[in-house]
Structure formats: structure tokens, C-alpha cells
Structure 1
Amino acid sequence: MSTKKGWSGRYFEDFEVGDTYFHPMGRTVLSADNSWFTLLTQAQSPVHFDHYYASQTEFKRPLVNSTFIVALVTGQSVTDLSQNVFANLGWDEVRLPAPVFEGDTIYSKSDVLELKSSQSRPNVGIVKVLTQGYNQDGKVVLTFKRSMMVYRKGQGPSIPRPEIQA
């Protein structure tokens, strides 16, 4: 038997404008996710954690905290886009075209829009993507453009792996 190297992510040179990545992991949003995230971030709108209050709104149920969805979809994209990130530069044009409810399952995809060399750091390049989050019905619930500095091959830190002792 041979040892197989695990996925170590893409480097700047691995991206091409026009590439589309369907990120592999979906995630069902639980009531606990919504309540905890809302309370941990002190975004204390009762529409996110008070079911009785939310039942009196036009949606008749709690809305999922939108910043949780931004964080979730960003996290879903890491394995394809930013596992070798030097730094995130920003999220632009964040749009929330449809609500997310507890029990919805969120999936995501990203399209590479632009690649350019960094003027200040020769060991990284700048990758700009358009990312969409969508629910189990295929309805888009989030879009944003994200820019990040990604290491060039052989220019980033390595992940140390200790030897296993028998």
C-alpha cells in the first residue's frame, strides 16, 4: 500500500478566469446555528431567535441571520478557493435576494472573474471571484464578489506533519 497525499488546495497559478467551482459541501441550517450565531455576535434582532415574535412577521418563522449565511458560504468555498490564502482583501456587492429559513440547506459555487499579480508581494497573486449561495430548491440566497491574495506555488508556509510513532 502507498501513502496518498491529501488535498492541499489551489495556488494562484492553478486558477483561470472563467473557471467555475461547485463547492462540495452543503449545510443544513439548524435553529441552534441561528440562535447561537445571532447571540454570539450580539445581533439581537428577535426575528432570528424568538419564534413567537417571528411568527408575527410576513415570513411567519425565524429568518436566518444573514451574516451567518455570508460566513457559511465563504467557509464552503475555502477548500476550492482559499485554502492557500495569504489574506482576504474584501467582500463586495453583497446581495441577499431571498431569505434563508431554519431547515434550509445551503450550497454554493464560485466563478473566477479576475487574476492579477500583487504589486506589493511577489509571493502571492490576487484572485477575484463571484460566489453564489443557493438553497435546496436552487434559489439564490446570497451573492458576493470576493478578492483574496493567494500564495504562489512553493511560496507559502507548509503544514507540519509529525511522524506517527508505532
Structure 2
Amino acid sequence: MKVSALTGKNNYFEDFTVGDVMKHARGKTVEPMEQVWITNVTMNTAEAHFNEHLTQSTPYGQRLGFGGVTISMCIGLAAEDTAENALMELGMDKIRLKGPLHHGDTLYCYTEVLEKKDANQEDAGIVRFRHYGVNQDDKNIFEGERTVLIKRRSHWGDK
């Protein structure tokens, strides 16, 4: 079986157009277990992530999601459309957590194609994306840019 049979047919370098915006198909509800586990594993001592009693007396009123999980979830939700034919992640930049994500909130992600350019290899090109994460109330809670080296259909796709 060819590798190209395992990935999408419309997300090679040639398929991306600067200015296009995609709404990714799936959303993800933030489970408290995911949030508290990663907070504990990374030894993050910010109690707003794991102390329900404390956060009830704050303006947020409930525990906050860990920003690292918010970022990872949004990039993950976008990956099928933007990086399924990636050869390499080249960078992330301009990461902004724009608002709180609480335990039990649902995250949705959108992506805008910002730039396309040739790479130093003929079988791939470089695409820069801006990812947006919004909650179930359509409030923007995450924004960041990501640069990916993506296969060219002309070299990797079905001939």
C-alpha cells in the first residue's frame, strides 16, 4: 500500500491557498481529568487549575484549563486538515491565550492560510497557518501561528 493511501487527498502543499479559512470538523470537550493530570505531571502549582474550592471565590468561579492543553487541543483539532501530509513541524509563533477555557467547555478550531513558499527541497513546500480556538459560546480563547513543511502531491501523491 502506498503511503498516500493513508492520508487525505486534499491537503498537499498545492491544495492550500493564502487567505483560505477552514473550520475543522471536530470539537473537543475539555475533561477535568485531562486538565488536572497534565497540571500535576508538569508540576504546575497554579491552583486555579486543580483547586475547585479556591476558584469558586474568584471571578472565574470554576477551575481553569491549563493553557498548554488548550494550545495542544487546537493544534490537534487542526492537524487532519493542515498537517496530515506534513514532513516536519517547523515552528510555532505568536501564541496567545485570549480567554479562559474551563473544565467542561468545548473547543472548536479554525485555520487561516497565511503564507506558502518553496522549501529547500523539491518534494515539499512550507505553509504558515494561523489557528484560532473558540469555545462553545464562540468566544476566541486561543490564537497562534504554525509553520509546517508539507509534501507536494507531485512527488508524494498518487500518479
Bin the TM-score by the shorter chain.
0.7 to 0.9
Structure with the higher helix share, 1 or 2:
2
Cα distance, 1:42 vs structure 2: 2.6
Report what 1:151 is aligned to: 151
* Structure 1 vs Structure 2 CA RMSD: 2.0
TM-score normalised by L of structure 1:
0.84
Count the aligned residue pairs: 153
Question: 1:102-130: per-residue Cα shift (whole Å, max 9, x none)?
Answer: 11110010010100001x22221000111
Q: Considering only CA atoms, is the larger Rg found in Structure 1 or Structure 2?
A: 1
Report what 2:64 is aligned to: 63
Q: Which amino acid counterpart does residue 123 of structure 2 have in structure 1?
A: N
Moved over 6 A (4+): none
Q: Could you tell me which runs of 5 or more consecutive residues in structure 1 were left unpaired when the two chains were aligned.
A: 159-166
Aligned partners of 2:44 and 2:155: how far apart in 1?
Answer: 39
Cα distance, 1:6 vs structure 2: 6.9
Cα distance, 1:157 vs structure 2: 9.6
Aligned partners of 1:81 and 1:124: how far apart in 2?
Answer: 14
Confirm or deny: 8 A CA contact 1:84 1:156 kept in the other structure: no
Question: 1:36-79: per-residue Cα shift (whole Å, max 9, x none)?
Answer: 12122332322111212222333121110001000000000011
1:113 aligns with 2:114: yes
Confirm or deny: 8 A CA contact 2:98 2:142 kept in the other structure: yes
Name whichever of 26-35 and 45-54 sits farther off.
Answer: 45-54
Structure with the higher strand share, 1 or 2:
2
Name whichever of 53-62 and 133-142 sits farther off.
Answer: 53-62
SS where residue 72 of structure 1 aligns? Answer: helix
SS where residue 63 of structure 2 aligns? Answer: coil
Aligned partners of 2:69 and 2:156: how far apart in 1?
Answer: 29
Identity among equivalent positions (%) equals 30
Aligned partners of 1:126 and 1:6: how far apart in 2?
Answer: 21
- Spell out the pairing of 1:6-155 with structure 2 (5 A cutoff): 8=8, 10-118=11-119, 120-153=120-153, 155=155
Aligned partners of 1:137 and 1:33: how far apart in 2?
Answer: 21
Confirm or deny: 8 A CA contact 2:118 2:124 kept in the other structure: yes
Name whichever of 49-58 and 105-114 sits farther off.
Answer: 49-58
Confirm or deny: 8 A CA contact 1:92 1:145 kept in the other structure: yes
